[in-house]
Amino acid sequence: DMAEKDENGLPKHLEWLDGISIAGLVVGENCETPSHWRSKQTLSKWMEQHNVPGISGIDTRALTKKIRENGTILGRIVYDLPTNIQSLEFSDPNQRNLVAECSVQEPMVFNDSGSPRICAVDCGLKLNQIKCFISRGARVELVPWNWELHEARFDGLFISNGPGDPVVCKETVIQIQKVLKSGKKPVFGICLGHQLLSTAVGCKTYKMKYGNRGHNLPCIHHGTGRCFMTSQNHGFAVDTETLPFDWEPLFTNANDNTNEGIIHKQKPYFSVQFHPEHTAGPEDLELLFDVFLNAVKNQKVHGAPTISLRQQLINRLMYNPSPESLMEKRPRKVLILGSGGLSIGQAGEFDYSGSQAIKAMKEEKIQTVLINPNIATVQTSKGLADKCYFLPLTPDYVEQVIKAERPNGVLLTFGGQTALNCGVELERTGVFAKYNVKILGTPIKSIIETEDRKMFAERVSEIGESVAPSEAVYSVEEALNAAKRIGYPVMARAAFSLGGLGSGFADNQEELETLARQALAHSSQ
């Protein structure tokens, strides 16, 4: 629903206040008969309302190859193949001031009674940036890209993302320089805002051949050396060779070594090239909003930050494992419950993941013991596991192996449903505790809560989400009574069991009775 608003009057499902920003859309396939339960209209109808053209039936993989070979290219959607391609005229967006086209025309205030006061310069802002501020209690005044800034009206300056070449936004750069010169207000920039802040301090920017566009792009934080996954969409980058002495790189792209952020060595000024507000994308670095707001509050109360912004970021981004997340000592030998039997046509995803687990253990110089009854798997190949037992994945056999091998760690999540059930039973009967075997990875409690249908529904309900009406039953009679309350058709699913063991749809009592008998033969629930 495009018209649905949140509690702050912002569109709930869109990232801008109104309209569509693109000039045209190219897709391989366009769905004209959507079946999603929340669907209100087709994509075509929505684009038609905003007078934006699109074209489908295009080999987008071939188009991607052309872009990969030539870099970003100009394009045009036409009705018919032109007789003289050379005569076609193309609209180059880089020749226009795109920021002026998509910025608000007048200031807008959100969460008027909030604190601290953030002035957000709209260069083509994503709404979740506003939401990230007001969810933390801040008041946000959204101003046009070329608005004259008066420091008495805000406590911190935020410069948003936006399209195009930062060189075009000279008026914005002048306003940023004015705030930096006074040195009284913390500054935070994202994407184009990062490039504008960099330009304001004297850096040069350049157009990239492709740009960085995607939801899982790795960035290295210079203060800690840690890698974070980020969401990005930009075609220009900052040249760090032109960075002034009192500034330093904050993040660097791990793929192409381009700059992903800068920070002042003493003052509370910083910016990042990626989108920490995500939507969509990783949420790894949303905490940058917390760090910025803390700096704003400190500046407001004390007149200067009690601890440098640079050090605050290091403190927040440093990995500090809690004691309960660490074993008393490094595991020397780990038992892996393997993928079990495979049939022709099955995906074998647990064979793959189990093989990767064994390789990871070997890299860490940890001895591996594998239990897998199927010799025709990758993980049972010579040279992978240090020792392999071709035994059934049952509690009795696994206990015998534990007794003989004495591993001090076990992995239960690389053998599918069979290994999970076996692990749950071994924990229930106290075998792991008896031989002092620590469960690595997913805890038993989490396994039980996801496999037990009733408990899973309760956990989902606790976080405010809804699930389809369901009931956990333990007999055929209970199943039939539950179906009467829910209403046919129903889906029966055996807990702690593979998908095909007594699971399926039933349109009436007779079909459900048959399914229930099969399911309860394999599971108690």
What is the set of domains in the chain, with CATH numbers? 25-90 (no CATH), 99-317 (3.40.50.880), 333-448 (3.40.50.20), 470-522 (3.30.1490.20)
Q: At 171, which helix (H) or strand (E)?
A: helix 170-182
Mean pLDDT calculated for residue range 38-42: 90
What confidence category does residue 501 fall into, taking pLDDT thresholds of 50, 70 and 90? low
Q: Would the pLDDT of 403 be above 90?
A: yes
> What does the pLDDT look like over 84-125, one tens digit per residue?
888 888 888 888 899 999 999 999 999 999 999 999 999 999
CA angle 390/398/339 to nearest 5° reads 55
**Which range (34-43, 180-189, 349-358) has the least confidence?**
349-358
* Mean confidence (pLDDT) of the chain: 88
> What does the pLDDT look like over 302-327, one tens digit per residue?
877 678 899 999 999 998 876 655 55
For residues 259 and 198, give the distance between their C-alpha atoms in angstroms, rounded to a whole number: 11
For residue 394, how many other CB atoms are within 10 A of its CB?
16
**Are the CB atoms for 135 and 286 separated by under 8 Å?**
no
Q: Whole-model pTM?
A: 0.70
For residues 119 and 133, give the distance between their C-alpha atoms in angstroms, rounded to a whole number: 11
**Are the CB atoms for 198 and 240 separated by under 8 Å?**
no
Q: Would the pLDDT of 286 be above 60?
A: yes
For residue 380, how many other CB atoms are within 10 A of its CB?
22
> What does the pLDDT look like over 221-264, one tens digit per residue?
999 999 999 999 999 999 999 999 999 999 999 999 999 999 99
Q: Would the pLDDT of 351 be above 80?
A: no
Strand ranges, E, within 222-320: 227-239, 247-253, 259-264, 269-272
The pLDDT > 70 percentage for the chain reads: 94
Q: Which are the catalytic amino acids?
A: 191, 275, 277
Q: Would the pLDDT of 162 be above 90?
A: yes
Q: Would the pLDDT of 278 be above 90?
A: no
**In 329-466, where does DSSP find H-type helix?**
349-363, 395-405, 416-428, 431-434, 444-451, 453-462
Q: Would the pLDDT of 347 be above 60?
A: no
What confidence category does residue 505 fall into, taking pLDDT thresholds of 50, 70 and 90? confident
**Which range (190-204, 227-241, 450-464) has the least confidence?**
450-464
For residues 290 and 313, give the distance between their C-alpha atoms in angstroms, rounded to a whole number: 10
Burial pattern 108-123, b for ≥16 Cβ within 10 A else e, equals bebbeebebbbbbbbb
CA atoms within 13 A on the CB side of 20: 17
- The token duo for 70 is 């030539």
**Are the CB atoms for 196 and 172 separated by under 8 Å?**
yes
Phi, psi of 516 (to 5 degrees): -60, -40
**Are the CB atoms for 372 and 362 separated by under 8 Å?**
no
Mean pLDDT calculated for residue range 47-67: 94
